[in-house]
Copies of this chain bind each other. A is one copy, B any other.
Amino acid sequence: MALFLLLLPLFFLSSLANSLPILFPRAPQSLLANLSESNKYPNLPYSAHYFPQQLDHFSYQPKSYTIFYQKYLMNSTFWERGEPIFVYTGNEGDIEWFAANTGFMMDIAPKFRALLVFIEHRYYGTSKPFGEKSYESADKLGYLNSAQALADYAVLIRSLKHNMSAESSPVVVFGGSYGGMLAAWFRLKYPQIAIGALASSAPILQFDDITPWSSFYDGVSQDYKDESINCFEVIKKGWDELMRLSSVKNGLSELSTTFKTCKTLHSVYQARDWLWEAFVYTAMVDYPTKANFMKPLPANPVQEMCRIIDGFPPEVDILTKVFSAASLYYNYSGSQSCFNIGYEADVHGLDGWDWQACTEMVMPMTCSNKSMFPPSAYDYKEFGDQCKKTYGVRPRPHWITTEYGGHNIKQVLSRFGSNIIFSNGMKDPWSRGGVLENLSSSIVALVTAKGAHHVDFRSATEEDPTWLIEQRTLEVEIIRSWIDKYREDEMI
């Protein structure tokens, strides 16, 4: 569910930083490292299992048959034989993390007497086909892609149903963000295995030329603008102010003081990335309740950030304002006395999503004049060259739309397919690449004006607003209707 999607271009663009005034944030490596520790979630109500999975489903070299162990989590507390199986189609990270942040499935399991299964995506967490060497080269990484992941899910689910004598149990897939894309695509490609999909915050239209390339950052910016014009303007001016400091004597030292860094910054881009990440991720996780997804944050964190900025007297310098706002993201708990800004040392480590972004998950993004970010362009050639240099292979920027579609999606799916919910919250900048209108009577869009990145998947809390409660209720009703129809059709 985390949108590591967003993490993509950092390691490329950092080398282009002087020519391209844009830098996408990525989660600090330390965070990723923590997530891989399974004891991070000691109270997770799932048992871990490992499925012998085939390395390559779409070729038949002897080495294609290599087996690796794919992790999956299961909870059968509420399940009764014949009743549904709810499967989370894991995305780009440790499966425990997604399980911990998809309390919705646990909340509704008793209603459906459902078996819960969370399947880890190949090459993430502990499901690495070549262990620690999995990211070593394109020869090993080559099998990390969406089609192989979907096939993994198909094979695993079929085997699981067989082994549990659960052949008559209907399977519904759930996924958020990239996992949501996988859930939707899984329903489209494997209707014989899943009767329906709930795809939350799945930007399946963020590819190729389907959605304007500037939409994501326009969306982030709109979130801040909606809170306060001043807030938007201050952040927008911040970038120039940062750049100005880079050419000023003692600028970095001054900046280090303002930003309370533990060590003196050696590049203004370190500060820029740090701010960028804070503003972008906070827009994504602008939840109506206190939450801890990327970081611990209060309810409505964008509003809180703008409150901080707007709370300063006008004469206070811009960077102090933006720093203070960004601190909310990094230090809501107040435990940090200084910030470890700058993680370039880890930035060139190969990680799974960077590879996926460099092969098939190519989502071009620009910053328009309307955004609060410095204007920037996107160039396929430049991006491809960087990928080639890093991995030895080039992206296939039109592959996703060839394999899964996206262009004219309403025309294509109005008479094809069924049983998909695309849920999106409009505060989430990814929503602009999502499906925001019903495509047919059973491929539907649930759009909430105040929702953020797959907020519907979070555990219910006492503080949940009515619109969120209603959204989840509607999702449950729709899923119920799929199951009812499945039961009717069994009589065919």
Which residues from B are CB-within-8-Å of A142?
Answer: 59-61, 64
User: In the complex, what's the smallest C-beta–C-beta distance from A386 to chain B, in angstroms?
Assistant: 15
Selecting from A405-413, A448-456, A465-473, the interface stretch reads A405-413
Interface membership of chain A positions 386-425, coded 1 if the CB is closer than 8 angstroms to chain B and 0 otherwise? 0000001110001101111111111111111111000000
CA distance A490 to B141 in the complex (A): 40
Choose among A59, A60, A411, A419 the residue with the greatest number of B CB atoms under 10 Å from its CB: A60
Is A489 an interface residue, CB under 8 A from the partner? yes
- A167's nearest neighbour on chain B, judged by CB, is B407
Selecting from A150-158, A257-265, A345-353, the interface stretch reads A150-158
* Given A64-B142, A158-B402, CB of A191 within 8 Å of CB of B412: yes
Is A237 an interface residue, CB under 8 A from the partner? no
- A151's nearest neighbour on chain B, judged by CB, is B403
Is A56 an interface residue, CB under 8 A from the partner? yes
Which residues from B are CB-within-8-Å of A192?
Answer: 401, 404-409, 412
Interface residues of A in 429-448 (CB under 8 A from B): 442
Are B492 and A138 neighbours in the complex by a CB distance under 8 Å? Answer: no
Which residues from B are CB-within-8-Å of A417?
Answer: 191, 416-417
User: In the complex, what's the smallest C-beta–C-beta distance from A44 to chain B, in angstroms?
Assistant: 29
Which residues from B are CB-within-8-Å of A74?
Answer: none
Interface residues of A in 128-163 (CB under 8 A from B): 138-139, 141-145, 147-148, 151, 154-155, 158
Instruction: State which of B62, B154, B394, B405 has its C-beta within 8 Å of the C-beta of A65.
Output: B394
CA distance A136 to B253 in the complex (A): 65
Which residues from B are CB-within-8-Å of A65?
Answer: 393-394
Which residues from B are CB-within-8-Å of A154?
Answer: 402-403
Interface membership of chain A positions 101-116, coded 1 if the CB is closer than 8 angstroms to chain B and 0 otherwise? 0000000000000000
- A55's nearest neighbour on chain B, judged by CB, is B59
Is A485 an interface residue, CB under 8 A from the partner? yes
* Given A191-B416, A394-B65, A419-B415, CB of A148 within 8 Å of CB of B58: yes
Interface membership of chain A positions 184-207, coded 1 if the CB is closer than 8 angstroms to chain B and 0 otherwise? 000011111100000000000000
Are A59 and B59 neighbours in the complex by a CB distance under 8 Å? Answer: yes
CA distance A179 to B326 in the complex (A): 59
Instruction: State which of B57, B145, B413, B489 has its C-beta within 8 Å of the C-beta of A191.
Output: B413
Which residues from B are CB-within-8-Å of A193?
Answer: 402, 405
Binding site for B on A (CB under 8 A): 56-62, 64-65, 138-139, 141-145, 147-148, 151, 154-155, 158, 188-193, 359-360, 392-394, 398-399, 401-419, 442, 485-486, 489-490, 492
Other contacts beyond A65-B393, A158-B398: 9, CB < 8 A? A59-B143, A60-B359, A61-B138, A62-B393, A189-B189, A190-B405, A191-B416, A192-B412, A415-B489
